[in-house]
Amino acid sequence: MDKNLQFLEIKRMDPKVTPVSKRVKNYREIYGHYSTNDASKQSGRCIECGNPYCEWKCPVHNYIPQWLKLIEENRLFEAAELSHQTNSLPEICGRICPQDRLCEGACTLNDGLGAVTIGSVEKYITDEAFKKGWKPDMSHVKPTPFKVGIVGSGPAGLACADVLVRNGIKPIVYDKYEEVGGLLTFGIPPFKLEKEVVLQRKKILQEMGVEFRLNVEIGRDISFNKLQSKYDAIFLGMGTYTYMKGGFDGEDLNEVYDALPYLNSNVRRLFDPTNTDFIDMKDKTILVLGGGDTAMDANRTAIRQGAKKVYCAYRRNEENMPGSKREVRNSKEEKVEFLWNMQPIKILGKDKVTAVKFLKTRLKKTDVRGREIPVIIPNTEKTIKVDNVIIAFGFRPNPSPWFEKNKIKLDEIGRVIINKDSKYQHQTHNSKIFSGGDMVRGSDLVVTAVFEGRNAANGIINYLRDKKNKK
């Protein structure tokens, strides 16, 4: 077979997906794994573009054509080494990145021939390499006297720790929760990301020299001043946990829940089946408000809890949804009913929710980001009876009280402002403090948090190196 025409002979083949009838009865990941042969064949479909659009569209700029070539040639450990040069959490990004909007969406073959299955191969590389005993090579690392405190063990914090420890700097990661991962662990449902995957990454990082101090909240269990005095630099990667509201009546009624506490309670129930303190949607009619991936997570969790009916309402049409197309498709397959172009205006009920009132919308012109704006159509009221409402309108940062005292500047919605005049990437207006991820960008993708955590680590490395040279 002509290598350059292999994509014509071998069609795109995704890993097997668990049938709907089986997958809605448990919380296991629904996507299967490639065999070595299938991973090699699918990787071989890459035509090795001279200007690889997939690589440019990837937020961490993975060396995608190169590691696809290595997998085609069954050079697994080399592919794992190369994958980790740009991404600290490749097995996680391979599972939860919206590849349809990123690398695979930009693939040259996506125009009618079926994009290369980049995400599934990325997952295969690290999963299979770990299974066969591969570990990051730390033999060349020369220890330094520097120690860096990292606040938050989400994607940005883990990525920052990964780059620092590979450069001989000791990272100590603090997190207020009992386990690492942030929303990777306590937000994203296991049917998208099984928690064993996050725990395995934790173990790898620990073996590399990263230290974790869990159940420790800065400002409560240890003051930020004390933290600063212990370390040569600080990285803040505390994410976004303030739930956004719609601003209409009824949001505070009983049986109306924010998406994150709902998802969190379900994950904790799975950790401890004896825990009765969780939000249960069994045999109820549920309405999820929102169109992003968090809304899809809530949809599919309610289905698995045994909800009688799940609606999902979004004020724009399907083409303008911010969530992954794959997750919308999965929700549809699992019998979620979507209500497009529906603007909620009031949640009805006395002591608890009984219904939600909507107005229909139409889309007109574009806003500054190029998205069409939903405009309400008069006299189009519609009321839907429900037992529970889950609000998934997104998240904003929740800055700590000690930010201001320590010269950590914030914008009007609470995001940390990076000092643009600094020569060090991701340095705040306090020279010792760096930040990245959602608390700088606002709620965004896991892969962009990884990118910023890695960049911040490089900023810290240069800052500490210059500091050492000045002595």
pLDDT of res. 124: 98
What CA–CA distance (Å, rounded) separates 340 from 313?
Answer: 6
pLDDT of res. 3: 63
Task: Report the amino acid identity of residue 388.
Answer: N
User: How far lies 181's CA from each of 33, 84, 154, 311, in Å?
Assistant: 23, 18, 4, 30
- Is pLDDT at 99 greater than 90 in this prediction? yes
DSSP string spanning 277-292? -S---TT-EEEEE--S
- Is pLDDT at 6 greater than 80 in this prediction? no
What is the average pLDDT across 213-230? 96
What CA–CA distance (Å, rounded) separates 164 from 147?
Answer: 9
What is the average pLDDT across 338-366? 95
Domain 245-391 matching CATH 3.50.50.60: the answer reads: yes
pLDDT of res. 369: 66
- Is pLDDT at 368 greater than 70 in this prediction? no
Give the distance from CA 443 to its chain's centroid.
9
- Is pLDDT at 13 greater than 90 in this prediction? yes
Three-class DSSP category at 393: coil
Task: Report the amino acid identity of residue 446.
Answer: V
Q: What percent of the chain has pLDDT over 90?
A: 86
- Is pLDDT at 394 greater than 90 in this prediction? no
Q: Which CATH class is domain 147-241+395-470?
A: alpha beta
Structure tokens at 136: 């990051």
Where b means 16+ CB within 10 Å and e means fewer, 341-350 reads: bbbbebbbbe
User: pLDDT tens digit string along 255-292?
Assistant: 999 999 999 999 999 999 888 889 999 999 999 999 99
Fold of 3-131: Fumarate Reductase Iron-sulfur Protein; Chain B, domain 2 (1.10.1060)
User: pLDDT tens digit string along 110-126?
Assistant: 988 999 999 999 999 99
Task: Report the amino acid identity of residue 82.
Answer: L
Bridge partner residues of 342 (DSSP):
360
Instruction: Give the number of other CB atoms < 10 A from CB of residue 41.
Output: 18
Closest CA to 122 of 160, 82, 161, 157: 82
What CA–CA distance (Å, rounded) separates 201 from 130?
Answer: 10
- Is pLDDT at 379 greater than 60 in this prediction? yes
What CA–CA distance (Å, rounded) separates 207 from 204?
Answer: 5
Q: Give the DSSP H/E element, type plus range, for residue 11.
A: none
| Distance, first Cα to last Cα, the chain | 62
What is the average pLDDT across 1-8? 67
- Is pLDDT at 468 greater than 90 in this prediction? no
- Is pLDDT at 1 greater than 60 in this prediction? no
What CA–CA distance (Å, rounded) separates 467 from 465?
Answer: 5
Where in the sequence of the chain do the CATH 3.50.50.60 domains occur? 147-241+395-470, 245-391
